[in-house]
Structure 1
């Protein structure tokens, strides 16, 4: 479990990479997913189908989901940033375009671009919050619940053995 926690910590740190290092962050997280899946397969071969095996599988599945969600959300945020730059570059100039001759038409076009930008910025803020806080809080909550459940079930098993 410690290797998966270290891998997930490294994957989480990719959230703080610069926007230009998107490919590096993507590569790190996909490598982490592959490593954890490999560990999951190897553990599946070694353990019998017991309660502890099910708990280990649950741990590994959640450990795979964390970097996977980071990849999906970082990719979506990258797409939003990239499309935002495209829209800003494509705002038509007044000169040389017949349907943009009036100042009203240009103002309406800029207003619609600003509304699109507001929506994109709101989406980016939500994605950033999920990446920086939501995934971390969710993962730490899972770790706490996982270990508390393990301690309670271990204590119940010990009580059962002493009563026999």
Structure 2
């Protein structure tokens, strides 16, 4: 036999470590040894009983893991033993007893199940043992998902700050982005490098994108407030500070009280048009920040966890790699 999925295709051998035993049939017939025998033994026909050959092997298996659905992924690692040479017509591979004597809890995975079956590998008879490995979600939930979700919620709560605390709003969201970026890099460094994006990467990138949108919206809203031409009150090192409107608005206000009726009418028309447009933009931006952004985040969180838990609790069946192994 050949261990097919090992580095050097290790073969079975018959050496001093091999143990051969006679499995006596319960109804076997025997007779006493004749007078010419020097031992007091029973003699029986070997064709009526079986011989058992056993040997212990320690091999390093080559298993391909798909990390795309990390940490909801389940991996199938297998032992593939095939016949050597042209011995197919002399050997029947019959799955019998399979015992897993190792620990069920491993460093990164735990054993979810195992099975053995017959299959065909490169036109040869094969005996396949498959082991299904899964991950514990609690560790990842407490160290990755829960902290990132809490940081995203903290960043969103800044939408309910008063306009007076604009600087604090920007500072909180930028701090959230910095912490999320640091966590993203640390999580990525602990995982194998892959050419494809993993589920945890999608989660981290989405949470990193939320505070960026918040900063963008608050900056845009603050700019619209400046266009209103009113005295603005800001927070300066814990003290209130008033800022005069920008120059272009000041010029418009001077035209509003012009003695020239034509100039005054044009100024009034421009003033109210600008004010209506700004009010609509402010309302739309506030709607995005207070309603649309949390709605999209809630939909993403729900979809992500429903899909992930469906993969976790209903993993692909053993034998999915080789459909003949059922």
* Structure 2, gaps ≥5 residues long: 1-144, 230-244, 321-325
**1:132 matched to 2:294:** no
Runs of 4+ in 1 over 4 A off after TM superposition: none
**1:107 matched to 2:265:** yes
The aligned residue for residue 10 of structure 1 is 154
The aligned residue for residue 212 of structure 2 is 68
The aligned residue for residue 29 of structure 2 is none
Could you tell me how far 1:94 is from its partner in structure 2?
Answer: 6.5
**Would you tell me which structure has more helix in proportion to its own residues?**
1
**Would you tell me which structure has more strand in proportion to its own residues?**
2
CA distance in 2, matches of 1:161, 1:140: 34
The aligned residue for residue 318 of structure 2 is 161
Cα distance change, pair 135–94 in 1 and its aligned pair in 2 (3 A) = closer
The aligned residue for residue 33 of structure 1 is 177
**1:119 matched to 2:277:** yes
Kindly tell me the number of residue pairs found equivalent between the two proteins: 157
* Structure 1, gaps ≥5 residues long: none
Local SS of the residue matching 1:160: coil
TM-superposition CA deviations, 1:64-122 (whole Å, max 9, x none): 00011000010010011012223654411577xxxx43223202211111101111110
CA distance in 2, matches of 1:117, 1:64: 34
Pairwise mapping of residues 47-58 of structure 1 onto structure 2 (< 5 A)? 47-49=191-193, 54-58=198-202
The aligned residue for residue 59 of structure 1 is 203
Local SS of the residue matching 2:168: helix
CA-based RMSD: 2.0
CA distance in 2, matches of 1:130, 1:94: 34
More divergent stretch after superposition (57-66 vs 83-92): 83-92
Q: TM-score, normalised by structure 2?
A: 0.45
CA distance in 1, matches of 2:149, 2:159: 16
Cα distance change, pair 49–144 in 1 and its aligned pair in 2 (3 A) = farther
Local SS of the residue matching 1:123: helix
TM-superposition CA deviations, 1:5-56 (whole Å, max 9, x none): 1111110000011111000000000000000000000000001257xx7111
Decide which structure has the larger Cα Rg and report it: 2
Cα distance change, pair 133–109 in 1 and its aligned pair in 2 (3 A) = same
